[in-house]
């Protein structure tokens, strides 16, 4: 690594943190202040265009200095070797969460008490559409609640 490639970048102010682009959070490099002016940010390891900023000391430990890295080098820093390892890490994290009793997935549209109320209205003869309107949900949600109760 050449000394002129070494670039320490300090965290941006909170108002200029990230830019959303096609479902990804990408850093807005213009929001960062640099120790020395550089023409373009490049990966400090391989010299490729920098795509990500890596905290030298984790933010959770109070670190503020970051260095620019390309995606491949950033993955190496964190011990990842491509998409297959990322999928495996995600699956192991989900398995740990399930083992700890964490309920995964989307929250129900209606609480258990409101579901019981909806079932009572259906049993009283109200239509699915009317019950859905009363609770402000779709008919499909009411039908799923009805079918789950019947099973």
- Euclidean distance between CA atoms 33 and 25, whole angstroms: 19
Return the SS3 of 17. coil
Q: What percent of the chain has pLDDT over 90?
A: 30
Check: pTM over 0.95? Answer yes or no. no
Q: Which residues contact 8 (CB under 8 A, 6 or more apart)?
A: 34, 35, 56, 65, 66, 67
Residue 115 binned pLDDT confidence (cut-offs 50, 70, 90): very high
How far is the first Cα of the chain from the last one, in angstroms, to the nearest whole number? 64
How large is the average pLDDT for residues 81-109?
83
Q: Check residues 3 and 139 and name the one with the higher pLDDT.
A: 139
Is the pLDDT at 1 greater than 50? The verdict is no
Strands (E), 32-114: 33-34, 52-55, 65-69
Q: What letter does residue 26 receive in the DSSP assignment?
A: E
How large is the average pLDDT for residues 119-137?
96
């Amino acid at each position: 690594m050449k000394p002129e490639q070494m670039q320490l970048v300090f965290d941006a102010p909170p108002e200029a943190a990230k830019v959303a682009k096609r479902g990804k959070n990408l850093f807005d490099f213009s929001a960062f202040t640099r120790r020395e002016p550089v023409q373009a940010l490049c990966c400090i390891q391989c010299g490729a265009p920098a795509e990500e900023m890596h905290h030298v000391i984790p933010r959770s430990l109070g670190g503020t200095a970051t260095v620019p890295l390309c995606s491949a080098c950033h993955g190496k820093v964190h011990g990842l070797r491509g998409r297959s390892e990322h999928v495996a890490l995600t699956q192991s994290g989900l398995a740990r969460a399930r083992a700890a009793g964490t309920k995964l997935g989307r929250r129900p549209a209606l609480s258990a008490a409101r579901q019981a109320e909806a079932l009572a209205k259906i049993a009283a003869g109200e239509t699915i559409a009317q019950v859905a309107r009363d609770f402000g949900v779709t008919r499909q949600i009411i039908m799923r609640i009805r079918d789950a109760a019947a099973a």
